[in-house]
């Protein structure tokens, strides 16, 4: 091994290709990750299902008892927020049903003390994006399209990514999802010819494709 003067490059240069390669692998991996993350509709909190202060079950109340969503989420067709029920709403039934249950006693106590139940939020969008429930409900977009089969959930979990790509998928082609307004809270609704029905309803409800940034970023 001669270290003659013919060595133009410093010794570390022997490793340069390896270093460059490692860098490219890391950078390439990172770029792939970023691009995949950015463009994937599946990057956000799908599956998120926080524990709630009371073991309230949609499966029981909606799936078995058949209570309509709007009985509890009274804002959903009138305002931006769907809203959550007050303890008084629960007590309309539970004043007499299952009064010996410790879970129900928590609700009774909340009414007594006036301290609301602190339900943990499942879905949330970043502040810089704007969303309005009533605009969707009154255009025949079902809870199902965004929240899934809530009537089968013991505990609510997030089903859709709520990412921008996901919002746009429907805003570009609402006919894939729009249904008769009378069916928006019906978790069992389905038609074999959605594209035909959807197209008709989009016309009937005067729905336009909405892709301008200002629709959701105000």
Name which of residues 99 to 138 contact ligand HEC (CB under 6 A).
101, 103-104, 107, 119, 121-126, 129-133, 135-137
Virtual torsion, Cα 101, 107, 109, 110, nearest 10 deg? 170
Residues 141-160, interacting with ligand HEC (CB under 6 A): 141, 143, 145-147, 150-151, 156
x-or-dash pattern for ligand HEC, window 187-206, by CB under 6 A?
Answer: x-------------------
Question: For residues 178 and 140, what is the distance between their CA atoms, to the nearest angstrom?
Answer: 5
In the bound state with ligand HEC, the residue whose beta carbon lies nearer, of 23 and 116, is 116
d(CA 209, CA 196): 17
Binding mask 24-63 for ligand HEC (x = CB under 6 A): --------------------x-------x-xxx-x-xxx-
Range 181-185 contact pairs with CB under 8 angstroms and sequence separation of 24 or more = 181/137, 181/138, 181/139, 181/140, 181/205, 183/140, 183/142, 184/77, 184/137, 184/140, 184/141, 184/142, 184/143, 185/68, 185/69, 185/70, 185/142, 185/143
Q: Which of 42, 95, 98, 115 binds ligand HEC (CB under 6 A)?
A: 98
Cα separation of 132 and 39, whole Å?
24
Cα distances from 163 to residues 38, 103, 149, 150, 169, in angstroms, run: 9, 35, 19, 20, 10
Binder to ligand HEC among 1, 8, 188, 213 (CB under 6 A)? 213
Our finding on whether 72 is near ligand HEC (CB under 6 A) is yes
When the beta carbons of 7 and 152 are compared against ligand HEC, the nearer one is: 152
Which residues within the stretch 77-96 sit at the binding site for ligand HEC (CB under 6 A)?
81-85, 89-90, 92-94
- Judged by CB under 6 A, the chain residues 157 through 176 that form the site for ligand HEC are 162-164, 167-168, 170-171, 174
Is the CB of 85 or the CB of 180 nearer to ligand HEC? Answer: 85
- Say how many C-beta atoms besides its own lie within 10 A of residue 162's C-beta: 19
Q: Which stretch binds ligand HEC (CB under 6 A): 18-26, 28-36, 73-81, 189-197?
A: 73-81
CA dist 141 and 22 (Å) reads 49
By CB under 6 A, the count of residues binding ligand HEC is 77
């Amino acid at each position: 091994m001669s270290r003659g003067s013919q060595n133009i490059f410093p010794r570390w240069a022997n490793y340069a290709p390896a270093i460059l390669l490692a860098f490219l692998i890391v950078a390439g991996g990172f770029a792939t990750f970023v691009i995949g993350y950015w463009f994937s509709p599946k990057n956000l909190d799908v599956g998120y299902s926080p524990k709630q202060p009371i073991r309230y079950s949609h499966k029981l109340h909606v799936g078995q008892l058949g209570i309509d969503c709007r009985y509890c989420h009274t804002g959903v067709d009138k305002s931006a927020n769907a809203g959550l029920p007050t303890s008084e709403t629960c007590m309309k039934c539970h004043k007499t049903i299952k009064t010996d249950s410790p879970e129900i006693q928590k609700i009774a106590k909340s009414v007594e003390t006036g301290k609301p139940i602190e339900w943990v939020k499942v879905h949330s969008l970043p502040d810089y994006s704007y969303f309005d429930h009533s605009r969707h409900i009154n255009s025949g977009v079902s809870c199902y399209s965004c929240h899934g089969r809530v009537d089968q959930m013991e505990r609510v979990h997030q089903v859709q990514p709520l990412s921008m790509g996901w919002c746009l998928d429907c805003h570009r082609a609402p006919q894939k999802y729009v249904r008769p307004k009378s069916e928006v809270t019906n978790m069992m609704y389905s038609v074999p010819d959605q594209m035909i029905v959807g197209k008709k309803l989009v016309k009937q409800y005067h729905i336009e494709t909405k892709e301008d940034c200002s629709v959701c970023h105000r």
